Amino acid sequence: MSMFYIQAIVHTHGIRSLRDIRKHHLPMLRSIRKRGIKVVRDTYGLSAGQLRLFVHYQPSYYHFHVHIVTLELSGQANANVGMAHLLDDVIPILELEPDGSSHEQGTFARMTITYSIGTQHGLHDALVGRQVSLTE
């Protein structure tokens, strides 16, 4: 099998998007990475280097999930810049958060995240309308 698309959906409620992820979620993210790669290797015979694991921001639905796709499919699975954030980039960013941080919000909640959305996304019309009003 050369192309497939899998989602790892977390059991934890309250993690809606990348903005809700904190340092204490690192074990969960590492487990998703490790177990996702193992399942794909054992089931389809593909190595980690043949995969892309990423998170969308803005997501298509607000219950945290990780997309796992083959390289061949990554261009068709919205794994493009401006939408996809590689799990291998998310994890080290969270590792930089200080232990016992006094910040109420995690790094991703505080940082500016540039993103693009398609015309079919639920936020499209509201954002385009707001963008027009800002340029007048």
Q: Catalytic site residues? A: 65
* Residue 6 and residue 40 in contact, taking contact as beta carbons nearer than 8 Å: yes
* Residue 93 and residue 107 in contact, taking contact as beta carbons nearer than 8 Å: yes
- Lay out the sheet containing 65-70: strands in order across: 5-9, 65-70, 51-56, 84-86
Question: Where do we find the tokens 């590689």?
Answer: 86
Burial (CB count <10 Å: 0-12, 13-18, 19+), residue 35: exposed
